[in-house]
Amino acid sequence: MLKSSLTATAAATAFACLLFFLLVLLLAPASHAHEPDAAGNDGDVAAEAASDAMREPPLPAQPGAAPGIATFEGAVSFYGREFAGRSTASGERFDPDLLTMAHRTLPFGTQVRVTNLRNNKSVVVRVNDRGPFVGGRIGDLSAAAAALVDMLRAGVVRARLEVLEP
């Protein structure tokens, strides 16, 4: 009797662990970091940027800093269109066709210039959400903003964020 009770407990624990793992996989944002991009690069940008971020985490913007003074460099990803219509942390609905981004600390409404360091293409976006919550990443762009800096295929790129307006 005791042996079957232990077996049932072990099976229940294993099942709970499996469910947790599957839930984490389902809720984690999709990343295309290992697909080659249009230039044929191997997509290890995310790993490189995560490594850089672990060495020197980005500092939060200084309150009252002059526009263009606060800058961050690191990995930036983008939201897929499957998030369209969901509420952002600011309370507005996510629209993948608007030029917006998520940042962990910048105030909502902050204007930020995002530059893809691989091709120097840039876009000005407005912070309207919190995140990303994936290690080593410093921002998540809307699909429209990601398209303008030519990062849709890569999924994650190394970028510079410049605060333009608090």
Digits of tens for pLDDT over the chain (166 positions)? 545 554 656 555 655 545 454 444 444 444 333 333 444 444 444 444 444 433 334 444 444 444 566 888 999 999 888 888 889 999 999 999 999 999 999 999 999 999 999 999 999 999 999 989 888 899 999 999 999 999 999 999 999 999 997 6
pTM given for the model: 0.60
**Beta strands 111-116 and 100-102: pairing type?**
unpaired
Residue type at 20? F
In the block, residue with structure tokens 């599957």: 22
Cα distances (Å, whole numbers) of residue 154 to 7, 103, 166: 46, 20, 29
Cα distances (Å, whole numbers) of residue 74 to 52, 93, 138: 7, 26, 6
